[in-house]
Homo-oligomer: A and B are copies of this chain.
Amino acid sequence: MPSATARTRVRRLPELALYDQSVLYSIIDAAYVCHISFYDGESSHCIPTACWRDGDRLYVHGSNGGRLIRQLASTKEVSVAITLLDGLVLAKSAFNHAMNYRSAIIYGRFDAVNDEMEKRRLMDVFMRFIAPGRERDARQGNAKEFAATTILGIALDEAAAKVRTGGPSDDESDLDLPIWAGVLPMAMLPQAPVAASTSIGPEPVYVRQWQRSE
């Protein structure tokens, strides 16, 4: 279960903090990309990468030779952030403007998955997450591809979520000002699929339904 440690306790606007596991998982599952922060002894780095959840762990993957994978595999403490922007909040005063968002932050260490059967299972979970059924349609990874790829997992037990929803929170003394106030929402929406010139065969159901999937 996610818990509030000294690192995950939300200090700024703590009334927006949520330590509920289902909220945390729903934020992670709505995102395709996370940002991973680590320190290599000289510099802090902030690297975006694709991610997916399986049970109580978050997974990322990459080429064995990549900088991120090498750094993460050498047991560095990291934090991982996932942020979904939902809208701009226009208040009557400049300083009460805000954004609506859902965010998750995770602290811990990534561990490499060494078992090949487990790597295969996790890649199928990732493919299903990208497009349910794709794990059966696509040519599966061969031994060489799996050997060249590292899958890393981090536990979701030191984590917190923070969510802002709803309209502006204006100062009492500003409420009568004759100013439009409200929310300009935004959403990440699927657009029309684009077949490659090399595509062969009919559109799978996850392609046909892409634009209706959110």
A interface list, Cβ under 8 A from B: 7, 11-12, 32-33, 35-39, 43-48, 50, 62-63, 66-68, 76-81, 83, 85, 87-88, 90-95, 97, 99, 101, 103, 105, 107, 123, 127, 130-131, 134-135, 137-141, 145, 149, 167-168, 170, 174-204, 207, 210
CB pair B45–A11 under 8 Å, yes or no, is no
- What are 20 A-B contacts with C-beta separation under 8 Å? A7-B43, A11-B67, A12-B63, A12-B66, A35-B37, A35-B46, A38-B44, A44-B78, A46-B79, A48-B83, A94-B140, A97-B127, A167-B194, A167-B196, A168-B198, A176-B200, A182-B199, A184-B193, A185-B194, A186-B188
Measured in the bound complex, the distance between the Cα atoms of B32 and A67 in whole Å is: 27
Minimum CB–CB distance for A59 against chain B, Å: 14
Q: Report yes or no: B99 in contact with A32, Cβ–Cβ below 8 A.
A: yes
| Contacts A183-B193, A194-B182 given; does A188 touch B85 at CB 8 Å | yes
B134 contacts A101, C-beta separation under 8 Å: no
A187: nearest chain-B partner, CB-CB: B191
Q: Tell me whether A123 and B137 are in contact in the complex, defined as CB-CB below 8 angstroms, given that A180-B203, A193-B183, A200-B176 are known contacts.
A: no
Do B194 and A181 touch across chains, with their CB atoms under 8 A apart? no
* Alpha-carbon separation in the docked complex, A97 to B138 (Å): 9
Known: A11-B67, A12-B68. A48 touches B103 (CB 8 A): yes
**A167:B197 contact, CB within 8 angstroms:** yes
Closest to A137 in B: B179
**A137-B178 Cα distance, complex, nearest whole Å:** 9
Contact partner, A179, options B127, B138, B175, Cβ 8 Å: B138
Write out the residue numbers on chain B whose beta carbons fall within 8 Å of the beta carbon of A123: 94
Bound complex: CA of A210 vs CA of B183, how far in Å?
A: 10
A184 vs B201: C-alpha distance in the bound complex, in angstroms? 16
Query: Contact: B182 with A196, CB < 8 Å?
Result: yes
- Using A33-B101, A48-B83 as known contacts, list a sample of 17 further A-B pairs with CB atoms less than 8 Å apart, ordered by residue number in A: A44-B44, A44-B78, A46-B46, A46-B80, A93-B140, A94-B134, A94-B140, A94-B141, A95-B149, A97-B138, A139-B179, A178-B201, A179-B201, A180-B201, A182-B207, A184-B193, A185-B192
